[in-house]
Amino acid sequence: MNYSVFASGVIGYKNRLKSKKSQDYMEYKVFDKGTICALADGHSTEFFKYSYEGAKFACKSMISVLEKYLEKMQDLENDLEKNIIQKIIYNEWKDMVEKHYYTLNPVVFKTEYIKYGTTLIGVLISDEKIVYIKLGDGNILVKKENKYTKVIDTKKNRTVDSMGKENAHEKMMYFVDNIGTNKINNIVIFTDGYENGFYSEKEMFEDLDKTIVKYNKNIFSRMNLYKNYKKHLNFISDKRSKDDISIIFLNKK
């Protein structure tokens, strides 16, 4: 099942005031056997000094690990159930963090993983299955039969689940969807900076619908969307959420 990808993001109002870059990171790769997307929201307070790097490493780890399963999809669900995939993602992230930390602090003997704290979302689409993985906030929505559904709810914790916490892999949630029985037209993943920019889910769903219509209408409408969508996201951040925004649309061809 083929999906096209449209991704965009902006620096949040609060970070622009401080002349800081976005602490979000997103990446996607299209392969012969599928598409993999990853999106992470680095914690933005001063304590989380390397949260952008943490978000970047988390996305790269997610894609690196899931890519290998495109060649062995028969093992994927079982390895998720046994927490094998989650642990590999977490350990690869820790390895990247450790290398980065020691380039900056060569005489320090203990890596402060917490300073790289970030949430993480990953989606793998193959001809057989769609796999969703989530740690922390942010959201994954699917649209089928003109209705949006959240794939994985956010845990109601006092503090957000984070890659920077010990044994973060144990907190990763997942869902596996069989494409043969579930025809999904659109998948949207985004950081909470987008969701918090609306007064209601209904308002957010309407905004997503407008974007999808513009993307699918014709080539001229799509080019106009590419040109102006960052302005739209800046408006959402400036007027309401004040946060960095990153969003990825996967649209069935």
Q: Which domains does the chain have, with CATH numbers?
A: 3-252 (3.60.40.10)
φ, ψ for residue 107, nearest 5 deg? -100, 5
Tell me how far CA of residue 64 lies from CA of 126, 165, 177, 214, 236, in angstroms: 15, 21, 21, 32, 32
Residues 6+ apart with CB under 8 A from 39: 24, 25, 26, 59, 120, 121, 122, 138, 189, 190, 191, 246, 248
Q: Are 214 and 221 in contact (CB under 8 A)?
A: yes
> pTM of the full predicted structure?
0.95
pLDDT at 177: 93
Q: Give the three-state DSSP class for 119.
A: coil
Instruction: At 71, list the tokens.
Output: 């060649």
For the chain of 253 residues, list the mean pLDDT of each consecutive stretch of 10: 92 94 97 96 92 98 97 94 98 97 86 96 94 96 93 82 97 90 88 96 98 97 98 97 98 90
**150 strand-pairing partners:** 141
pLDDT at 181: 57
